[in-house]
Every structure is written in C-alpha cells, then in structure tokens.
Structure 1
Amino acid sequence: MKNKILVAFITLTSFLGYAQKNITWQDLADVSFERKYFPVYDEYFLYPNFSPSVKALEGKKVSITGYFLDIDPQGEVFILSRGPMSSCFFCGVGGPETAMELHFSSKPSFKMDDIVTITGVLQLNSEDINHFNYILNDCEGQLAD
C-alpha cells in the first residue's frame, strides 16, 4: 500500500512540475530598464534587469493571453502584445515588457489583433537586441474565451 501511495505522489508531483503556469502581463512588468551602449550598432538600447520573480519563470512552460500581431509581410514574425496593434509597444504606448516574440513549430492561423492564449517555454533575452526581451518557444495557441 505504501508503494502505491508513493508512486501516486511521485506521478502527481511530476505532472504538476510540468504543467504550464498561467502568467499575466503584470507578472512580466516586474523588470527595470537602463540604457546600455551596444558598440556594434553605435546606439543605446534599453537593457532589461529582470526581477527574481521573472527570472524564476525562465525555462518554464507558461500561458499568457494577449493580442496576436503578425508584423511580417511573409508571415514569419509573430508577436503577442498586451494591447492591440493600434496601441502596442511599437506605437509608443507600452514598454518592451508589454510584448513578446513567438516561435511556433507551424504557422498559426490567427489574424491580426485576435485575442489569443499562447503556451510556450519562456526565454529571457537581455543581450540580443535583434530579438525581444521575452520570447516564447515551442508555442501553441488558441483563441481566448
């Protein structure tokens, strides 16, 4: 009997360890920025200093809801934004913490400004200015309820 309880406990904790964590844009807002010089571009960019709570999410499977943005004419660059295209980070309404880069294994069928819930593995990026500070890899998504 003890072995069955132990196996059930291990199975349950393993499952809970791999389940995705639902996060919000407020969770990702726990970051500060400083201007940092990047010699390769001879420019200053906002360099993120992620809080311990945000760092704890790195490498975890997370789910977050936002607006789907397809900003590439070839349909290869996808973004999840806290706000719709008309008020997104690029339009100056939010900061870098209000958008994330999405990497899908196959092209999604969402349309611009669809409200979606995306699940993927969170990657924090502070050094590669050609990519967002927040990146979701291995993404799957669905229209939000």
Structure 2
Amino acid sequence: MPADPFEISRAVTLLESEVELNAVRSQGAGGQNVNKVATAIHLRFDIAASSLPDFYKSRLLQLKDKRISGDGVVVIKAQRFRTQEKNREDAIARLVELIKSVAQTQKKRIPTRATKSSQKKRMDSKTKRGNTKALRGKVDSSY
C-alpha cells in the first residue's frame, strides 16, 4: 500500500518516503510508561534531498530556526502525547507548518507620515514638559 503524500499547498506535496520517522523513548515524568514504551517520534527531513521546489528549499535553508541543523536537516522531536500515533501526526503537522510558513511572503511596509496636528501636539507636550523641568532648578535667593 503506497503512503499518502503530505499536502503543503495545492501544487506542492511532500512524499512520506522523504521523511524519516524513528520511535524513541520520551523524556520527563511518566513512570513505567515512559521507561518501557517508545512513544516519542524523532523526525528527520533533509531539505536538499527533498522533492520540494527550489523556492521552498532556499527559504528553508535561510531560515534561522533551531530545528534546522547546519547541514540542512530539519529535526523535530514530538513527545506531547502518550501514544506514538498522535506524536507521529504531531511531528508531521509541525513539519508541514514549518514548510508552509516559508511560502508566505511578508507584505512590504509602506511608511506613513505623522499628521501636522500630531506633530504640533507632540512639540507642545515637549515644551510643557521642558518648562516643568526648568522649574525644578535651584531658586535664586538674591532678592
């Protein structure tokens, strides 16, 4: 039975064969279940060797993310849930979310100017504040 591809967008899919999933033991509290059962999932995804378009690859490699190693491998450890199946789904969902995040381009910011009235109000408040501070000086006792 062939594995279902993971959908990134309508045009881009990720093959399950490109994602390496290993079951490992979870960390932290949990008693005997944590000590006996390998429920955490360790996901590894090589960006350069994947079938992703070059646009996605370059954006992912430029991303400053602690989950992406120096040699371009995404490493995700999923251990939120008690079952291996839920952790597997969580790891894959986090990988898909990471890839989707680089596809969105940020809107270019168009700087706006302050209005005349806001500039005047700001200058008036600065003058008032300066006058208040000037009154705090030493008093001349030569009268």
TM-score bracket for this pair, using the shorter chain length: under 0.3
- Tell me the TM-score normalised to structure 2 length: 0.25
Larger radius of gyration: 2
- Tell me the TM-score normalised to structure 1 length: 0.24
Which has the larger share of strand?
1
